[in-house]
Copies of this chain bind each other. A is one copy, B any other.
Amino acid sequence: MVGVNKKKINVGMVGYKFMGKAHSHAYKDVGMFFDTAADVVMKAICGRDENGVKEAADKFGWESYETDWRKMIAREDIDFVDINAPSDAHKEITLAAIAAGKHVFCEKPLALNLADGREMLAAAEKAGVKHAICFNYRFLPAVQLAKQIIDEGRLGEIHHYRATYLQDWLVDPNTPLAWRLKKEVAGSGAHGDINAHSIDLARFLIGEFDRVVGHNRTFVKERPLLTGSAGGLSGGGASTEKGEVTVDDATGFLADFKNGAMGMFVASRFAAGRKNHNTFEIHGSKGTIRWDLEKLNELEVYFREDEPNLAGFRRILATEPSHKYAGNWWPTGHIIGYEHAFVHIVYEFIQHMTTDSPFTPTFLDGVKCQEVLEAVDLSIERGAWVSVDEV
């Protein structure tokens, strides 16, 4: 509720493309569906291109806009900074925001490399500001239900964890060379972009990684250069000139978890027909869980304790009032979509900043995820298993 005497918390956001839209939507809607401890005020949005950012400010409902993020961070009316600019900008903006005493809500990946990420974490902890990394998929009702089932011990001891994150927007060799395909801007390809989500979900659900071994591919090594402004997943036109793809199209790896479970992960942008196939399947001594982002409201669960002739995978539609966050939306059976996860994480971070309620994922989770990513890359160089503690 937007109360007259309710505390307000002002956000300034850097970035206004795909993630900028998703985050804006979350700030706009959160108060309508959740009783936040403070009203979030969409104070300022920031981007380098004045026309672009002005249009975004109008369309998304921000009170003002800036073209210089340093200026925006300096504004006294900004309580926390949301950073969803391209990945290579995360570190500098974050450190500046922390220096200015602002809380930070940063898109993943935290940084281009582990050292940078650790520096950001240390700075945030030293400054005592609140910090979050936007691993949004943790906040879907079906994923929360998976977490609850596991935490209650209903899967028993975990034996297997398998994840895929599959897309197909690069199978076409004419898809242009967007910033996500350049190592110096994106840091990594499918691995850092989407394996990162799978790694975070695995850590969230079953715990820490012990060691990994992987392989990767860049199936199409040159692509048309992009003309004009580049945002979104693949926006902008294609030039006749070509440039080198410097990130991976696909990375797969095996993992051993500290709890003894066997893991298997693959991220690819070359999986024809798989549009956003972020899945996990977890086998425990008492049952199995399966989830797929393309059907994000559903969780498949098998319990060995069910009567033998009646046991089977249950397709649970996580839209009941008893499912976390679901009751804030619509009646049973009225499904939610992709963007709702951002509303939920924003809700939890507002609560965290306002009431000091427990919150994860923080920069620490960003760092832990980065450790696994880099251990995989190191294992690829070495052709052998690498302990995550080593990186």
Contacts and interface: CB of A to CB of B under 8 A. Distances in A.
A314 to B, nearest CB: 4
Residue among A260, A296, A332 with the most chain B CB within 10 A? A332
A253 B250 contact: no
A262 B250 contact: yes
Interface stretch (A65-73, A271-279, A344-352, A365-373): A271-279
Interface in A32-85: 32, 55, 58-61
Contacts of A275: 317, 319, 332-333
Nearest to A22: B330
Interface stretch (A93-101, A126-134, A301-309): A301-309
A227 B310 CA distance: 29
Given A2-B59, A288-B273, A313-B314, A219 B254 contact: no
A192 interface: no
Interface string A365-384: 00000000000000000111
Contacts of A59: 1-2, 31-32
Give the number of copies in the complex.
4
Given A288-B272, A310-B316, A331-B233, A25 B29 contact: yes
Given A18-B331, A295-B295, A384-B383, A312 B315 contact: yes
Contact of A215 (B254, B330, B334): B254
Interface residues of A, number: 104
A17 to B, nearest CB: 11
Residue among A1, A3, A214 with the most chain B CB within 10 A? A1
Contacts of A270: 159-160, 283, 285
Interface stretch (A103-111, A181-189, A335-343): A335-343
Nearest to A261: B217
